[in-house]
């Protein structure tokens, strides 16, 4: 199983920055970037957990909840990824695909944080 620390740290850093941001900055787009990242992580987690089931979109609960939504989605993704990874230990191509999925998730969060310009 691969280490998910890089994703966890990226999510936590971005969430901390969102929590510390003033309302004006959140409303100018930082919250939207955080929600977009949270929604994408949640969708990816759902696809890993139930591949044939249509995913549910995370709701917009307001600019002051985005940090928490991001943390929940990041945690859900990590847990779904670990479960999928443990279930495919003997399948090298599946392990490679899961590693790519993890790398993409890290890049997604880092890009959203950079675009949010906090």
Q: Which residues contact 30 (CB under 8 A, 6 or more apart)?
A: 18, 21, 116, 117, 118
Instruction: Using DSSP, state whether 56 is helix, strand or coil.
Output: coil
pLDDT tens readout for residues 2-50: 799 999 999 999 999 999 999 999 999 999 999 999 999 999 999 999 9
Tell me what the pLDDT averaged over the chain comes to: 95
The model's pLDDT over 73-89, given as tens digits with 9 standing for 90+, comes to 999 999 999 999 998 88
C-alpha R_g of the chain: 14
């Amino acid at each position: 199983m691969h280490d998910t620390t890089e994703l966890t740290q990226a999510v936590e850093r971005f969430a901390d920055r969102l929590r510390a941001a003033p309302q004006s900055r959140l409303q100018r787009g930082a919250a939207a970037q955080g929600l977009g990242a949270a929604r994408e992580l949640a969708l990816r987690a759902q696809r890993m957990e139930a591949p044939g089931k249509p995913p549910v979109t995370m709701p917009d609960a307001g600019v002051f909840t985005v940090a928490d939504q991001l943390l929940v989605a990041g945690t859900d993704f990590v847990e779904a990824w670990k479960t999928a990874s443990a279930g495919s230990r003997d399948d090298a191509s599946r392990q490679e695909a899961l590693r790519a999925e993890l790398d993409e998730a890290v890049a997604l969060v880092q890009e959203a944080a950079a675009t949010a310009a906090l």
